[in-house]
Amino acid sequence: MKLTIGQKLLGTAALMCLLLIALASSSLLSTASLGAQLATAGGPGSETIMLAGELKSVVMTLRNSQRGVFLYTVMHDRKRADTNRGFYRTLRSVEPKSSPAFAASPPTTPHAPW
């Protein structure tokens, strides 16, 4: 049986259409599977991990600010100590009670000295 050029082209086009349909269905199944995995990964556990990371970051920043206050106070560098004290106060949610240690007013634009 001899195939003409038209039959060969038609067969090739049909085969390419079948392969295209197979590839499209495979990509749809993969996308659906990834969506299910994303729903699992983005659950309440990931939110807890993110909040724990933010809390750790804030705690480390507070520690560094507090360490700076102590260090610059010992070095008699009042300006830097006040800057760190102000930065520490802005990160805390509760203002300290009036005490001699916090008598100085915080700077208007607190920033970390490091």
Q: pLDDT tens-digit profile of 52-66?
A: 888 888 888 888 888
CA–CA distance, 78 with 84 (Å, rounded to integer): 10
> Based on the number of CB atoms within 10 Å of its own CB, is 95 exposed (0-12), middle (13-18) or buried (19 or more)?
exposed
Count of domains observed in the chain? 2
Same domain, 8 and 50: no
Same domain, 53 and 101: yes
Helix axes 44-74, 78-91, angle to 10 degrees: 160
Same domain, 83 and 57: yes
Q: Is the model's pLDDT at 105 over the cut of 70? A: no
In 1-114, alpha helices (H): 5-41, 44-74, 78-91
Same domain, 50 and 90: yes
16-59 pLDDT, tens digit each: 999 999 999 999 999 988 888 877 777 777 778 888 888 888 88
CA–CA distance, 82 with 112 (Å, rounded to integer): 11
CA–CA distance, 13 with 37 (Å, rounded to integer): 36
Quick check: is 40 in a domain? no
Same domain, 28 and 51: no
Q: Is the model's pLDDT at 97 over the cut of 50? A: no
Domain extent at residue 70: 45-114
Q: Return the pLDDT at 98.
A: 42
Q: Is the model's pLDDT at 103 over the cut of 50? A: no
